[in-house]
Structure 1
Amino acid sequence: MEDNRTARIRAADADRERVATTVQTAGSEGRLTLEEVEERLTRVYAAKFTDELTALTADLPRPAPARPGFPLTLAALRRHPALRLHLAVVVVISVVAIVRWAVLGAGFFWPAFPMFWLAVSLLVHAGMRSVRERPGAPVPY
């Protein structure tokens, strides 16, 4: 038989810091008084087990999950060669269209239309990549 005390998980410094941040945030939002923050922080840093930490934030709301950011970033371009190739094609076609417009001397800037749709296609491609990278996303075959 397993004793209840042996089933407890010891808290790491990172666990204490995470809970301390939650308590401090609740204090700055006005959910806890200054005295409550001080008392809970004292208990956070004295905690030895994770269940003690959980009890200190049980009455506080959970933070909202992070929203995904803009899908076309330098990190995304570094991770995905297909995205870099798509960006290169968009740039080349845009430059060719602008040069042709300048050489022909057309008054109306018609390259804006194809450049817009090329940019939309690039953003959709990057957005689909970011959706596939999210945790729990289905793995493509």
Structure 2
Amino acid sequence: MEDTHPARIRAADADRERVATAVQHAGSEGRLTLDEVEERLTHVYAARFTDELTALTADLPRPAPPRPGFPLTRDALRRHPALRLHLAVAVTIAAVMIVRWVVLGAGFFWPGFPMFWLAVSLLVHARVRAFRERPGAAVPY
């Protein structure tokens, strides 16, 4: 005897929490009344399969994907040794240029121009790293 129904996937606690958060967020936005939130949360925590959870949020809008933030963060520096090295080289070069400017006694702060381009190169490097980490980003051959 063949089973014509697709296999159902059991819901994990993390799945229930994700859906419960979405329902609570919809309630806080005014998309659902307090009674609807309460009713849906009761169904969320009673759900055994993922398709039951999907039905509870089918009429709610999908959350917008997170916007990329500032690419140069401590977390990014922790994950990418090449980015740390780039930062160290940029800071060292900037320090050498500033020391040279002070020693030579030049009136015009000329190290500002190369330091600007060092900062731009570091930000571009961090942005490229962040872009490559996005889900679905093309991987170069």
Displacement of 1:69 in angstroms is 2.2
Displacement of 1:66 in angstroms is 1.5
Deviations 1:101-120 (A, max 9, x none): 11122222221111111000
User: For the residues of structure 1 that align with 2:88 and 2:70, how far apart are their CA atoms?
Assistant: 19
User: For the residues of structure 2 that align with 1:81 and 1:88, how far apart are their CA atoms?
Assistant: 10
Deviating more after overlay: 100-109 vs 32-41:
100-109
User: For the residues of structure 1 that align with 2:8 and 2:83, how far apart are their CA atoms?
Assistant: 46
The amino acid of 1:88's aligned partner reads A
Q: Does 1:130 align with 2:130?
A: yes
Runs of 4+ residues deviating >4 angstroms: none
The amino acid of 1:123's aligned partner reads L
Instruction: State the match for 1:69 in structure 2.
Output: 69
Displacement of 1:79 in angstroms is 2.4
User: For the residues of structure 2 that align with 1:132 and 1:11, how far apart are their CA atoms?
Assistant: 31
Matches within 5 A, 1:45-84: 45-84=45-84
Instruction: State the match for 1:105 in structure 2.
Output: 105
Structure 1, unmatched stretches of 5+, are: none
Q: What's the C-alpha RMSD, in Å, of the aligned pairs?
A: 1.4
Deviations 1:33-65 (A, max 9, x none): 111111111111111111111111111000011
User: For the residues of structure 2 that align with 1:19 and 1:55, how far apart are their CA atoms?
Assistant: 10
TM-score normalized by structure 2? 0.91
Structure 2, unmatched stretches of 5+, are: none
Task: Count residues with an aligned counterpart.
Answer: 140
User: For the residues of structure 2 that align with 1:81 and 1:17, how far apart are their CA atoms?
Assistant: 35
Identity of aligned residues (%): 82
Q: Does 1:117 align with 2:117?
A: yes
Deviating more after overlay: 120-129 vs 66-75:
66-75
Displacement of 1:138 in angstroms is 2.0
Q: Secondary structure at the match of 2:77?
A: helix
